[in-house]
Chains A and B, each alone.
Chain A
Amino acid sequence: MPAAPPAPGASSTEAVIEAPEVRLIGIGKRFPGVIANHDVEVTIRPATVHALIGENGAGKSTLMKILYGVQKPDDGTIEVGGTERSFRTPTDAIGVGIGMVFQHFMLADNLTALENAVLGAEKLHGIGDKARAEFESISERYGFGLRPDVLVEKLGVADRQRLEILKVLFRGAKVLILDEPTAVLVPQEVDALFANLRDLRAHGHSILFISHKLDEVLAIADDITVMRRGTTVGSAVPGEVTKQELAEMMVGSELPSPETSESTVTDVVQLSLSGVTLTDDAGRDLLSDISFDIHRGEILGIAGVEGNGQAELVETVMGMRRLTSGRILLGEEDVTDWDTRRLRESGVGYIPEDRHRHGLLLDSPLWENRILGHQTRPPSVKGPWINRSGARKDTRRIVDEYDVRTPGIDTVARALSGGNQQKLIIGREMSGDPVLLIASHPTRGVDVGAQAAIWSHIKRARHDGLAVLLISADLDELIGLSDRIEVILRGRMVGTFDPAGVTPKDLGAAMTGGGEA
């Protein structure tokens, strides 16, 4: 059961024996219009996995950035290994053995994976063959399958995530901060990661782990701290709480489950792909001979380990890549050669896999971000002009309907917490009554409460005839939302499943080519 936050200095019996690895005492941080953190108290015991959970905008990432020296706290003190520290830059934090995986990727696109990994840690293994060998050995040990010399711009979200994790492992930090590292990983990858986190823990490392997936939290954590509205509101011990109780502590409501209501599938085909093939410059097939139909009122889920052609499939349908052969129909129309704008004008919504790269202008206010992708349609425009008041009004609607936590619509997108950025994108893409929604990891990084709300938004739209192409690493989401699931492996569709009769385990096996469909 939830207990009161441990009073500084007087925690449980183990903590008396072992001095805490990290203590955050009375941390406070204010941004214009928001109190991101106040009176935060967290104690991390050595050689433990400490989970930090809380609703979107609760202040988790801010707290971690403070611990990593990226942001300076307004109040409070940080103790590492019993000594009080004040970090001016990440360099100081790295110096005392802290490493961090940020919620949003911190990678240089035009450098190779290896270069990104060794950057800042050249002293450990140099930048040559020794570093390459270390990179490959970590990649192998964790089953990441990353190639050192590939440019990061060529990597999809999951590979980027794996690379981010590899980066901290490469550094061998004593305290690891992992801010939502599993959001786009499939269960097998999460298991592999957890096995290694346990291994690291056994070797004396402490890990701070942030996730909205409560199953994961219960599976890996030794201690759990819950944050709400900028402060720590409680702590829990995994063996003694259930998912439901955790969810209640986080958002004060019950845990939703993605149960489908009765089928709304019609016989009208909304999107039809036939024989879609895409080859890269070297002539290798990225997608081979993909054919499927999505009807109005139907959700087609695509299951697969990231990097098996999902991104290419989405970009092909969205007109961002030219297919090598095959045909795409939207309703009755042949849209094979259409460009992205024309597709969007005819009612295709798009939730990109990487919200920072493709979804938002981080330094523009929310209402300008609302216009993005709708720059030719009302209410964003009136004739040839931008309709400022229309766009602002509609942004306010999205903020209300999708519960985007923000001081206002003139706030820049960067100032929103990750989950709230995601909610804004979903709200935008669901507006204007789309006929087809292409959704890559739609609930990536949103809390359990908001996830349920998004699911019901999608279901309502499906009831009204929306067709959805859903790509997700969250198998529960796939099974709960989809009317049909196709498995993609190395650019081919290798099996169809009925979500009513499939378990995550079956899907997992099919995704890695282990199971027969």
Chain B
Amino acid sequence: MSTTQVDKSAPSERARKIGGMYRTYWLVMLVAVVALSLVRIATGADDITAANTLRAAILSACPILLAGMGGLWSERAGIVNIGLEGQMLLGTWGAAYFTYNYGPWVGLLGAAAMGALGGLLHGLATITFGVDHIVSGVAINIIGLGATTFLAEAFFSDYQYGGPRQLTGLDGLPFVTVPGLSDGLKSLNDQGWFVISDLAGLLAALTTKVSVVTILIAVIVVLTAWILWHTSFGLRLRSCGENPAAAESLGVNVYRYKYVAVLVSGGLAGLGGAFLALVAASGFTTNQSNGRGYIGLAAMIFGNWNPFGTLGASLLFGYTDALRLRSPSAVHALLLVVAIGLLAYAAWRFYQGARTSAIVLGLIGAAFLVWFLTTDTVPREFTGMTPYVVTLLVLALASQRLRPPAADGQVYRKGSAG
């Protein structure tokens, strides 16, 4: 009886939306590669697309990505988990302890279990006792730091290569290199050709000395996307983050899904800790995560609570981080990239009719351009900030489109349906 027309092309509407999403994704990637390539040729900063830089970028992105995935799981179920940092720390200790005693594979499991323990604590506080999520998260970070420091002192002091604050000489996990491809791509990368060498650098980074854990992480990202969006388990979990009262009124056991989410969340953060202790470094030190849990959370937000968005954000952070470590001079070239990015975005906004924001963006872009043109290096005090500044900048630009789960961070009491 309704006059609303039934759109017969409904399924294709969905397909179009998804198709559009992937197209945008690839387009952004392509534009980024071209821009980087242009800047590399213009400035001679070869490091910005060197295979080694990109490999370091991936290494640096991995723990952040795991933290981000952890954040994604819990926030999709409506629990803000800023305790990721503490859960990561628990993971670093777990990785060290279990690797030392039982080998690196058990070490990974142990790290995840320790992280999940932190998640369980957060779940007990927020779900069962209705504690504010931020308060509980902060407490977990403090506990995580305190507990790992204490446990390290208690256990590692007597170990070989151990001390009260570190444990080195742990067995590592295998790396994978694709024979043939890897060398060829690397020499192509050294040629300095426009775009081709840059792409070769990227592929070389993906085929040379890739940790099995990195591969595992890639699988986790894909699995997360599949579980949360293509299974009924995932639908129920997400419904708890969107409208728990409605979920409960349909027979969903909200508490159970929230607990599962926060346990997985802690486990992933713990795995992130293992990556730091076993792959990125070859041992444990206290406070090893050094804020990466928070960065992971930021990456998840900037990734719009979406696994592939979080992946992109983590890679961006990892890239800037790697760049500043490997080649401070390349950070100067990055100014030009930022300027181009901002100006392009300003033009896009202008085209969309958002005048004011276009002008503001244009001015900031111009400022970066002037900075680039009038200086030769970026002061050392600034290079350390690069990853944070870039993340902040992108976050600010993207924030207009971000959409957190509707009931994220709200305390839910069983029986509130209706």
Q: Do A513 and B3 touch across chains, with their CB atoms under 8 A apart? A: yes
Binds B, one of A75-83, A138-146, A376-384, A496-504: A138-146
Which of chain B's residues 266-301 have a Cβ closer than 8 Å to chain A? none
* Complex CA distance for A380 and B13, rounded to whole angstroms: 48
Q: Do A106 and B246 touch across chains, with their CB atoms under 8 A apart? A: yes
Q: Do B247 and A120 touch across chains, with their CB atoms under 8 A apart? A: yes
Which of chain A's residues 255-305 have a Cβ closer than 8 Å to chain B? 305
Q: Does chain B have a CB within 8 A of A204?
A: no
Q: Do A109 and B242 touch across chains, with their CB atoms under 8 A apart? A: yes
Cβ-defined partner of A149 (8 Å) among B10, B238, B250:
B10
CB distance from B82 to the nearest CB of A (A): 22
Cβ-defined partner of A119 (8 Å) among B1, B239, B245, B403:
B239
Could you say which residues of chain B place their CB within 8 Å of the CB of A61?
Answer: 418
Could you say which residues of chain A place their CB within 8 Å of the CB of B251?
Answer: 89-91, 94-95, 120
Q: Does chain B have a CB within 8 A of A60?
A: no
Give how many B residues have a beta carbon under 8 Å from the other chain's beta carbons.
37
Q: Does chain B have a CB within 8 A of A321?
A: no
Binds A, one of B95-103, B228-236, B318-326: B228-236
* Complex CA distance for A118 and B239, rounded to whole angstroms: 11
Q: Does chain B have a CB within 8 A of A162?
A: yes
Q: Do A107 and B3 touch across chains, with their CB atoms under 8 A apart? A: no
* Complex CA distance for A109 and B408, rounded to whole angstroms: 13
Q: Do B239 and A159 touch across chains, with their CB atoms under 8 A apart? A: no
Q: Does chain B have a CB within 8 A of A307?
A: yes
Q: Do B4 and A107 touch across chains, with their CB atoms under 8 A apart? A: no
Q: Does chain B have a CB within 8 A of A127?
A: yes
* Complex CA distance for A91 and B232, rounded to whole angstroms: 16
Could you say which residues of chain A place their CB within 8 Å of the CB of B405?
Answer: 110
Q: Do A192 and B249 touch across chains, with their CB atoms under 8 A apart? A: no
CB distance from A508 to the nearest CB of B (A): 10
Q: Do A489 and B246 touch across chains, with their CB atoms under 8 A apart? A: no
Cβ-defined partner of B250 (8 Å) among A120, A127, A140, A305:
A120
CB distance from B137 to the nearest CB of A (A): 23
Q: Does chain A have a CB within 8 A of B417?
A: yes
Q: Does chain B have a CB within 8 A of A25?
A: no
Q: Do A147 and B6 touch across chains, with their CB atoms under 8 A apart? A: yes
Q: Do A119 and B235 touch across chains, with their CB atoms under 8 A apart? A: yes
Given A108-B247, A110-B403, A305-B3, residue A120 in contact with residue B252 (CB < 8 A): yes
Counting chain B CB atoms within 10 Å of each CB, the highest count among A108, A115, A192, A305 belongs to A108
Given A109-B242, A132-B11, residue A159 in contact with residue B4 (CB < 8 A): yes
CB distance from A42 to the nearest CB of B (A): 18
Could you say which residues of chain A place their CB within 8 Å of the CB of B236?
Answer: 119-120, 122
Q: Does chain A have a CB within 8 A of B5?
A: yes
Q: Does chain B have a CB within 8 A of A70?
A: yes
Q: Do B245 and A147 touch across chains, with their CB atoms under 8 A apart? A: no
Q: Does chain A have a CB within 8 A of B406?
A: yes
Which of chain B's residues 398-413 have a Cβ closer than 8 Å to chain A? 403, 405-406
Given A121-B250, A143-B2, A308-B3, residue A127 in contact with residue B245 (CB < 8 A): no
Q: Do A307 and B243 touch across chains, with their CB atoms under 8 A apart? A: no
CB distance from A249 to the nearest CB of B (A): 26
Mask, A113-141, CB within 8 Å of B = 1, is 00110111111001100001000100110
Q: Do A70 and B415 touch across chains, with their CB atoms under 8 A apart? A: yes
Residue of A nearest to B7 (CB): A147
Interface magnitude class on chain A: 35 or more
Given A102-B418, A118-B235, residue A192 in contact with residue B1 (CB < 8 A): yes
Residue of A nearest to B242 (CB): A108
Could you say which residues of chain B place their CB within 8 Å of the CB of A107?
Answer: 243, 246
Could you say which residues of chain A place their CB within 8 Å of the CB of B415?
Answer: 70-71, 89
Q: Do B242 and A111 touch across chains, with their CB atoms under 8 A apart? A: yes
Could you say which residues of chain B place their CB within 8 Å of the CB of A106?
Answer: 243, 245-246, 249-250, 417-418
Could you say which residues of chain A place their CB within 8 Å of the CB of B249?
Answer: 68, 70, 90, 100, 102, 106
Mask, B214-247, CB within 8 Å of A = 1, is 0000000000000000111001101100110111
CB distance from B218 to the nearest CB of A (A): 25
Q: Do B6 and A115 touch across chains, with their CB atoms under 8 A apart? A: no
Could you say which residues of chain B place their CB within 8 Å of the CB of A65?
Answer: 418
Mask, A301-342, CB within 8 Å of B = 1, is 000010110000000000000000000000000000000000
Q: Do A489 and B3 touch across chains, with their CB atoms under 8 A apart? A: yes
Residue of B nearest to A414 (CB): B416
Could you say which residues of chain B place their CB within 8 Å of the CB of A167?
Answer: 250
Mask, B127-160, CB within 8 Å of A = 1, is 0000000000000000000000000000000000
CB distance from B122 to the nearest CB of A (A): 23
Q: Do A110 and B14 touch across chains, with their CB atoms under 8 A apart? A: no
Q: Does chain A have a CB within 8 A of B253?
A: yes
Could you say which residues of chain A place their CB within 8 Å of the CB of B232?
Answer: 118, 122-123, 126-127
Could you say which residues of chain A place their CB within 8 Å of the CB of B243?
Answer: 106-109
CB distance from B256 to the nearest CB of A (A): 11
Counting chain A CB atoms within 10 Å of each CB, the highest count among B1, B3, B239, B245 belongs to B1
Could you say which residues of chain B place their CB within 8 Å of the CB of A118?
Answer: 232, 235
Q: Do B231 and A111 touch across chains, with their CB atoms under 8 A apart? A: no
Q: Does chain B have a CB within 8 A of A456?
A: no
Residue of B nearest to A148 (CB): B10
Q: Does chain A have a CB within 8 A of B248?
A: yes
CB distance from A153 to the nearest CB of B (A): 9
Q: Do B4 and A307 touch across chains, with their CB atoms under 8 A apart? A: yes
CB distance from A366 to the nearest CB of B (A): 20
CB distance from B77 to the nearest CB of A (A): 12
Q: Do B418 and A71 touch across chains, with their CB atoms under 8 A apart? A: yes
Could you say which residues of chain B place their CB within 8 Å of the CB of A159?
Answer: 4
Could you say which residues of chain B place their CB within 8 Å of the CB of A139?
Answer: 6
Q: Do B418 and A70 touch across chains, with their CB atoms under 8 A apart? A: yes
Could you say which residues of chain B place their CB within 8 Å of the CB of A71?
Answer: 415, 418
Which of chain A's residues 223-241 have a Cβ closer than 8 Å to chain B? none
Could you say which residues of chain B place their CB within 8 Å of the CB of A119?
Answer: 235-236, 239, 246-247, 250, 252
A-B contact pairs, 29 of them (CB 8 A): A70-B249, A71-B415, A89-B251, A94-B250, A94-B251, A100-B249, A107-B246, A110-B242, A110-B406, A111-B235, A115-B235, A119-B246, A120-B251, A140-B6, A145-B2, A145-B5, A147-B13, A149-B14, A158-B2, A162-B2, A188-B1, A189-B1, A191-B1, A305-B1, A305-B2, A307-B2, A307-B3, A511-B3, A513-B3
State the A residues within 8 Å of B (CB). 61, 65, 68, 70-71, 89-91, 94-95, 100, 102, 106-111, 115-116, 118-123, 126-127, 132, 136, 139-140, 143-145, 147-149, 158-159, 162, 167, 188-189, 191-192, 305, 307-308, 489-490, 511-513
Question: Could you list 12 further interchain pairs (A-B, Cβ under 8 angstroms) beyond the known A102-B249, A120-B236?
Answer: A94-B250, A94-B251, A102-B418, A106-B249, A108-B246, A122-B232, A122-B235, A127-B230, A127-B235, A147-B10, A149-B14, A189-B1
